[in-house]
Chains A and B, each alone.
Chain A
């Protein structure tokens, strides 16, 4: 194969260059929200929940207006559009054609008047006119859907009616439906396949030509057939080609499901460069399935190829609704964070977010992981701003991960400054919990990390405030933290206070601390005694003696 003949790194860089040159969609603006929203900061959605809420409320406003138009048609009858625009006229609910004809039957079917349609059909048969198969099929569909009654009632469809009207009429739609149902009816794999083969033979006898949906139904049923599936699915595909039916994306989706991990290369060579049209309701699952397989096999080149397929022709329509899109882009971004260099990841981040999808907290964690791997932790304050904007700032595990990454290593002074500003921002989030907002709970880890970050940026005053918070929340700071404080403190009074605080937490390292303070700082007599008095409150007796000895010896 071609892939094995080139060195892999060359191929990857080549693909990377090609993909960098292309935009996601030629008309997509990565700096703006979706075009259905108003261009205003107050009205732009910032999270996926807001996206859904605003788009659904706009749609429900439209439906409300349509309802008013249809219930008061007399105000909307004046037609001064040249040429006539039928979709802007109020919809009529009553059938207009009164004479007994097939057109009248079709109109009643379209208006979903089941009883009227059935009566019209009976009248037509009595009058002796033959009804075309298309009209009969539509009538059958209507009866299957609504049963014996008109819509607005909740009864299940009556099977007897279907049987009564379908004697002798066989149709490709019915066979498709029967094939789809075959997997439910039999238990074992070979029995399922036998039933499907029997149905196909019946189709052949009745001279009904299979169409795309028939083959897709067969492939979908094969997914539930286990080990038989692989060979039979390839046979099915070749039969499709022999009959001249081009497979749609749904066919490929089912084959991917059957072949699982090994199917990807095969599929990509087949679909590369082709523009698809929506033909099957399952078409929309192709892209997310393909991306899932790329993610599980950690195959970046295939992922780029799948993504480039979106740029071809009208394929972007087949990405599905916003939920499917978010799954697809979520998996794509996950793969990128795992496999790609951080610059490429950040480039894709700017292109995809937030114009195309809103990552969930796991996606943001993957991004932080990628930053950590490539040593770009200085980007964390910017990422924190995005996290806040997306509304993920109430996810405690994400916030704690962020804090621990900032607190872990030493960086240059500017970076430490930005970290400190970010940490203060995070701290304000915790504090807001008192104002009845759904907020984060303080944990020891988060408090320790914030204090470490503040100390590293020389913000000693705020770090002292943090120690008070330790007190109020009944958490004990670690000894390393107190040691760090000692390193930063310049003033003797503060050092004594530090020892007092350490004593009040009953830390075992307090005596060492006291000794160090006495050695390293210039203390007045009063401070020494005052310190000693405080210390005696909670320290066990042996230590007490030791400290008194120390104090009186200097």
Chain B
């Protein structure tokens, strides 16, 4: 009788109960880390160093004052940053050599980018003029781009 009762109340047979499924935990950080592989994948310095090196061996990709004590607007700045990064990534298709750096100086937004020399210079200038004007109108503040070009991506390591 007891055995039967226990079987009847088991979770898997009873359709009206819910439970929590738990697996063994994987106590590892996986954020912004490219794992060691075969040795044929080229990485830039930015990609090769892990996030805990920020402030020690890496700089910041986005510079603004809203993370200081008593300042507002950190979330808004972050959302703007994400939009600007995606916008530039799409506009300068396949030309970015590295992550862009966004600096806010006063009212101005300065986008510093490293580009590859995949397009002729007049096309670069067209896209730069287009980006600056469109982002200025979107964010209602002056947006300037500072572009440097490279022949190839600067490889730091192969993993």
Contact = CB atoms under 8 A, between A and B. Distances in A.
A40 B147 contact: yes
Given A40-B148, A43-B147, A57-B122, A64 B138 contact: no
A68 B149 contact: no
Contacts of B122: 53-54, 57
B154 interface: no
Q: Determine which residue in B117, B123, B133, B148 has the highest number of CB atoms from chain A within 10 A of its CB, and name it.
A: B133
B79 to A, nearest CB: 13
Nearest to B122: A57
B125 A40 contact: no
Given A54-B122, A81-B140, A38 B147 contact: yes
Interface in A45-79: 45, 50, 53-55, 57-62, 64-66, 68-69, 75-76, 79
Contact of A57 (B126, B134, B147): B126
Contacts of B123: 57
Contacts of A64: 126, 129-130
Q: Determine which residue in A42, A58, A61, A88 has the highest number of CB atoms from chain B within 10 A of its CB, and name it.
A: A61
A72 to B, nearest CB: 10
Interface string A83-96: 00100111000000
A66 B136 CA distance: 10
Nearest to A69: B137
B134 A58 contact: no
A58 B149 contact: no
A54 B124 CA distance: 9
A424 B145 CA distance: 41
A61 B133 contact: yes
B127 interface: yes
Given A79-B140, A80-B140, A81-B140, A42 B121 contact: yes
B149 to A, nearest CB: 4
Nearest to A82: B140
- Dominant SS at the B interface? helix
Nearest to A55: B125
Interface in A157-200: none
Interface residues of A, number: 31
Contacts of A53: 122
Contacts of B138: 75-76
Contacts of B133: 61-62, 65-66, 69
A64 B129 CA distance: 9
B132 interface: yes
B121 A54 contact: yes
Contacts of B147: 38, 40, 43
A61 B130 contact: yes
A60 B122 CA distance: 10
Contact of B134 (A43, A65, A79, A80): A65
Q: Determine which residue in B123, B124, B137, B149 has the highest number of CB atoms from chain A within 10 A of its CB, and name it.
A: B137
A62 B126 CA distance: 8
B128 interface: yes
A58 B145 CA distance: 12
B42 to A, nearest CB: 22
B137 A58 contact: no
Contact of B130 (A65, A76, A79, A85): A65
B141 interface: yes
Contacts of A68: 134
A61 B127 contact: yes
A363 B122 CA distance: 27
Interface in B24-77: none
Q: Determine which residue in A40, A64, A69, A75 has the highest number of CB atoms from chain B within 10 A of its CB, and name it.
A: A40
Given A38-B147, A76-B138, A88-B137, A43 B121 contact: yes
A62 B149 contact: no
Q: Determine which residue in B126, B129, B132, B138 has the highest number of CB atoms from chain A within 10 A of its CB, and name it.
A: B129
A91 to B, nearest CB: 10
B146 interface: yes
B84 to A, nearest CB: 15
A80 B146 CA distance: 25
Contacts of A38: 124-125, 128, 145-148
Given A53-B122, A65-B134, A58 B141 contact: no
Contacts of A81: 140-141
A85 B142 CA distance: 11
B83 to A, nearest CB: 12
B74 to A, nearest CB: 16
A66 B149 CA distance: 26
Interface in A244-283: none
A316 to B, nearest CB: 23
A57 B123 CA distance: 7
Given A40-B149, A66-B133, A88 B140 contact: yes
A35 to B, nearest CB: 11
Contact of A62 (B117, B129, B148): B129
A43 B127 CA distance: 13
B140 A43 contact: no
A90 B126 CA distance: 20
B135 to A, nearest CB: 9
Given A40-B149, A43-B149, A53-B122, A59 B129 contact: yes
A76 to B, nearest CB: 5
A389 to B, nearest CB: 15
A85 B129 contact: no
B127 A76 contact: no
A64 B126 CA distance: 9
13 contacts: A40-B149, A42-B149, A43-B121, A43-B125, A43-B149, A54-B121, A59-B129, A61-B127, A61-B128, A61-B131, A65-B129, A85-B140, A88-B137
Interface of B: 117, 121-134, 136-138, 140-141, 145-149
Given A38-B145, A43-B147, A62-B132, 11 more contacts: A39-B146, A39-B148, A40-B148, A42-B121, A57-B125, A60-B129, A64-B130, A69-B133, A75-B138, A88-B136, A90-B137
Question: 5 closest A-B pairs (Cβ-Cβ)?
Answer: A61-B129, A65-B133, A61-B130, A81-B140, A58-B129
